[in-house]
Structure 1
Amino acid sequence: MANPLAKFREVFPVLAEDLRSICAEQDNLPDQVWQWFEKTLHYNVIGGKCNRGLSVVDTTQILLGRDLTSDEYFQSATLGWMIELLQAMFLVLDDIMDGSTTRRGQPCWYRQPDVGMMAVNDAPMLESAIYLLLKKHFRAHPAYLALVETFHEVAFQIEVGQTYDMLTERAQNLAEFDQARYGTIVTYKTAYYSFYLPVALALQYTGRATAGNLRQAKEVLVAMGQYFQVQDDYLDNFADPAVLGKIGTDIPDGKCSWLVVQALKLCTAEQHAVLRANYGRAGECDAQVCERRVKDLYSELGLDSVYHEYEERTVAELREKIANVDEGEGLRKGVFTAFLDKIYGRKK
């Protein structure tokens, strides 16, 4: 049986060639520019787990209830790679704004010696590739306009989430770090594009994007996306960076993360003072010492156990939501079960 990820990756060179043809042949792009764009594509789009992209293929197959034809596989995988392009754009910019050092086990794109702040222009080029590919492969599809609008809407949601995240980080006011603010940030910044988008695209592609199906998908998947981001925040602190593929920066960057929100609920006045003195100290000479103090406080507060209790409670609630999904208009409960099975108990 073919490895799903390997099969999915076989589609990317075809799409890269499509982009080369569009850019170099149709638009007469100079060779030097295309070569740079190609380098940008391969460095930033390839190398991830591709869970979001694969989810479009998996969802399409579950919705249709059968194996996909070669054309159906290619088209659903193409939509999946568009999500990977969207994520690549977001990660390039996110790493610059966070001052991150590694991504997927290698230096961040902007930290490449010949890249630097050229990455600011490379990021929107990655997003533009989505619309070039949509036009080439889906212009005749009945859902073409809906697909284009969905990508534009979700891209804006990511940007809104990033803005709220950075405004919160800039304020450096722990009094504003609460569950409501955290939930809003992660809904816009992560949940829509990581969970809702793959299913919305599959529903549109298969002609099942009724208002009821989209509403149900959003209700379940936004909640699942919030759970996923809580996992990310937990792993940022508790996972081995070698396994995670990146070095966590939430504490020195002063992020409104799930862990600090929980710590603020549980800490004493003395522990609160430790947080105030040490949280969000990126760029300071003693930043590593400050980060270690916060990590020690997290352990002292038992946040590892708090997280695992949260995970079991949340997964039970998600399973209940899935059980209540109405399949009358072609939506399938298995779509959501497949997502949950992929992320429950993940280590990276």
Structure 2
Amino acid sequence: MSSKVDAKTQRRQKFEDVFPVLRDELLAYLTKENMPQDAVEWYKRNLDYNVPGGKLNRGMSVVDSVAILKGGSLTDDEYFRAALLGWCVELLQAFFLVSDDMMDQSVTRRGQPCWFRIEHVNYIAINDSFMLEGAIYHLLKSHFRSEPYYVDLLELFHETTFQTELGQLIDLITAPEDHVDLSKFSLKKHSLIVIYKTAYYSFYLPVALAMHMCGIPHSTTNDPYVLAQSILVPLGEYFQVQDDFLDFAGTPEQIGKIGTDIIDNKCSWCINTALALATPAQRAVLDENYGRKDAACEARIKTLYEELRIRERYAEYEEKAYTRIIGLIQTIPETPIAPAGQAVLRREVFKAFLDKIYKRQK
């Protein structure tokens, strides 16, 4: 067990070691453009505070996927380029989180105050979020401008960003924290929010980046990118449903936080499943208590979730989702035949994602 932990720690450390190189490259660009020193120092603090502190799963998934697609270990140059693309995904994540925290007026993020709550930052965080996004395109141009897939990378980041923003819009107008209207909720609406807000950038983006870097071409018949998306979007939806369930059923020790979806009026899988099952009397309890900043109201919702057997229904959902995704993965040839020197889509890429998620407790 300890060797597994050590390998995971080393893998993360190797990925983290690339970040200062990229950060310094971005700061050197500001210096070259004759930005004043206080602006350079502000950007450094923005990058250091908001980009490297999370789980880094999205970024490291790019590296892992490249290694699987290339069928083995990577050269130093291949590793650096894969990690650079991974850090671009983490920059995108940071851009989303800094702006999302302002929209939600959140207090903490990753165990520290949200960036906009830091002294002297406030609404400057809006521009700071734009600068996190801008860094993606500067790095892509610096390192991939001469590659035949450069435009593919640009289009992928732009399209995924817009998809995520569409998901955020639906979420914000469906479930504002200060106005509860459960008539706007449904399992269909939840699915739409989850696919657009989470699945595309968290699951499809890292793999599609790896595929482009490995030279996997688009095709007019059986396009591997369409196939990858058809597996990774349901996988991302399953992941978010699992996250929603753990917010209700997981302990703070398990998930590293206290679940707040009920009091925050989140359009989560649990409330939407409850709405689909509730009797008129139970619906009244949901309407009266959901989204209230009140511990007793939250307790009533949790009691109703138990009455509606949300735990058992989640277990049923998980098994169906797992079986469906395994079936989709099996549509990829087990031993794909590749033209000389060309990478092809491999089942292992998707199995690696599924293995990390299935039955997770945190």
RMSD: 1.8
Provide the residue aligned with 1:145 in structure 2. Answer: 151
| Superposition map of 1:29-44 within 5 A | 29-44=35-50
Provide the residue aligned with 2:330 in structure 1. Answer: 323
Q: Tell me the CA shift for residue 265 of structure 1.
A: 1.8
Q: Tell me the CA shift for residue 112 of structure 1.
A: 2.3
Check whether the contact 1:101–1:247 (CA below 8 A) recurs between aligned residues: no
Provide the residue aligned with 2:280 in structure 1. Answer: 269
- Looking at structure 2, the residues matched to 96 and 228 of structure 1 have their Cα atoms a distance apart, in angstroms, of 25
Is 1:60–2:28 an aligned residue pair? Answer: no
- Looking at structure 2, the residues matched to 264 and 325 of structure 1 have their Cα atoms a distance apart, in angstroms, of 37
Q: Tell me the CA shift for residue 108 of structure 1.
A: 2.0
Check whether the contact 1:169–1:256 (CA below 8 A) recurs between aligned residues: yes
Higher helix proportion, which one?
Answer: 1
After superposition, the Cα gap between the structure-2 partners of 1:159 and 1:310, relative to the gap in structure 1 and judged at 3 Å, is same
Q: Tell me the CA shift for residue 252 of structure 1.
A: 2.5
Comparing 236-245 and 102-111, the one that deviates more: 236-245
Provide the residue aligned with 2:199 in structure 1. Answer: 191
Q: Tell me the CA shift for residue 287 of structure 1.
A: 3.2
- Equivalent AA in structure 2 for residue 168 of structure 1: T
Is 1:253–2:264 an aligned residue pair? Answer: yes
Q: Tell me the CA shift for residue 249 of structure 1.
A: 3.4
* Aligned mate of 2:243, from 216, 232, 236: 232
Q: SS at 1:3's partner residue?
A: helix
Provide the residue aligned with 1:335 in structure 2. Answer: 349
Q: Tell me the CA shift for residue 104 of structure 1.
A: 1.8
Check whether the contact 2:62–2:209 (CA below 8 A) recurs between aligned residues: yes
- Looking at structure 2, the residues matched to 256 and 23 of structure 1 have their Cα atoms a distance apart, in angstroms, of 41
Provide the residue aligned with 1:84 in structure 2. Answer: 90
Check whether the contact 1:103–1:246 (CA below 8 A) recurs between aligned residues: no
TM-score by length of structure 1 reads 0.93
After superposition, the Cα gap between the structure-2 partners of 1:260 and 1:328, relative to the gap in structure 1 and judged at 3 Å, is farther
- Looking at structure 2, the residues matched to 29 and 240 of structure 1 have their Cα atoms a distance apart, in angstroms, of 47
Check whether the contact 1:131–1:148 (CA below 8 A) recurs between aligned residues: yes
Check whether the contact 2:152–2:212 (CA below 8 A) recurs between aligned residues: yes
Structure 1: any 5+ residue segments left out of the alignment? none
After superposition, the Cα gap between the structure-2 partners of 1:264 and 1:220, relative to the gap in structure 1 and judged at 3 Å, is same
Q: Tell me the CA shift for residue 328 of structure 1.
A: 5.1
Provide the residue aligned with 1:177 in structure 2. Answer: 185
After superposition, the Cα gap between the structure-2 partners of 1:304 and 1:112, relative to the gap in structure 1 and judged at 3 Å, is farther
Percentage identity across paired residues of the two chains:
51
Provide the residue aligned with 1:299 in structure 2. Answer: 306
- Equivalent AA in structure 1 for residue 280 of structure 2: A
- Equivalent AA in structure 2 for residue 298 of structure 1: Y
Q: SS at 1:252's partner residue?
A: coil
Is 1:128–2:128 an aligned residue pair? Answer: no
After superposition, the Cα gap between the structure-2 partners of 1:296 and 1:108, relative to the gap in structure 1 and judged at 3 Å, is farther
After superposition, the Cα gap between the structure-2 partners of 1:127 and 1:306, relative to the gap in structure 1 and judged at 3 Å, is same
Q: SS at 1:68's partner residue?
A: coil
Is 1:287–2:294 an aligned residue pair? Answer: yes
Structure 2: any 5+ residue segments left out of the alignment? 1-6, 339-343
Check whether the contact 2:116–2:125 (CA below 8 A) recurs between aligned residues: yes
- Looking at structure 1, the residues matched to 120 and 360 of structure 2 have their Cα atoms a distance apart, in angstroms, of 35
Provide the residue aligned with 1:4 in structure 2. Answer: 11
Q: Tell me the CA shift for residue 256 of structure 1.
A: 1.6
* Aligned mate of 2:76, from 67, 70, 73: 70
* Aligned mate of 2:119, from 113, 119, 124: 113
After superposition, the Cα gap between the structure-2 partners of 1:93 and 1:291, relative to the gap in structure 1 and judged at 3 Å, is farther
Comparing 171-180 and 53-62, the one that deviates more: 171-180
Q: Tell me the CA shift for residue 22 of structure 1.
A: 1.0
- Looking at structure 2, the residues matched to 13 and 228 of structure 1 have their Cα atoms a distance apart, in angstroms, of 30
Provide the residue aligned with 1:346 in structure 2. Answer: 360
Q: Tell me the CA shift for residue 247 of structure 1.
A: 4.4
- Looking at structure 2, the residues matched to 48 and 259 of structure 1 have their Cα atoms a distance apart, in angstroms, of 25
Q: SS at 1:229's partner residue?
A: helix
Q: Tell me the CA shift for residue 333 of structure 1.
A: 0.6
Check whether the contact 2:27–2:43 (CA below 8 A) recurs between aligned residues: no
Check whether the contact 1:102–1:246 (CA below 8 A) recurs between aligned residues: no
Q: SS at 1:305's partner residue?
A: helix
Q: SS at 1:156's partner residue?
A: helix
